Amino acid sequence: MAARHVVCRVGELRPGESRVVRTAARELLVVRTGVDSFAAVANSCPHQGARLSDGRIERIWSAAEGRRHEPLERFAVVCPWHNFEFDLSTGCPPYGQGARCRPRLRRQELVVEGEDVVLYA
């Protein structure tokens, strides 16, 4: 059976904010990506191992026809060494090659239980 880890309380992070969480032998970057949504990824860039928590979190932007750029409800983490971007909802580059993208971030599923953000690992 998977162990239950409370990574934070819902109100501790605003959308786009992050924190580092350690569980057993893993270090994860946890990011609030929406009102009740959170993402957790390995805190290491798959390219050359940079700590992603030393990078930045940015909203992913999309150009709509005849209109200004509008934000999507998606965030990316940007590697501090080479500016590689990874969509936190997929682990792939925001405009990457779909499900078979490389490099890809390893994602962990988080759930909101009441006021707790929980990881089962």
Could you state, in order of their start, the residue ranges of all structural domains in the chain? 4-120
| Per-residue pLDDT tens over the stretch 70-110 | 566 789 999 999 998 999 988 888 876 666 777 788 888 89
User: Does domain 4-120 match CATH 2.70.50.60?
Assistant: no
- pLDDT of 1 reads 73
Please state the pTM of the whole predicted model.
Answer: 0.86
Residue 33 has pLDDT above 70, yes or no: yes
- Give SS3 for 83: coil
Residue 48 has pLDDT above 80, yes or no: yes
- For 1, 18, 38, 98, 108, the CA distances from 43, given in Å and listed in that order, are 24, 11, 15, 22, 11
Work out the mean pLDDT of the chain and round it to a whole number: 86
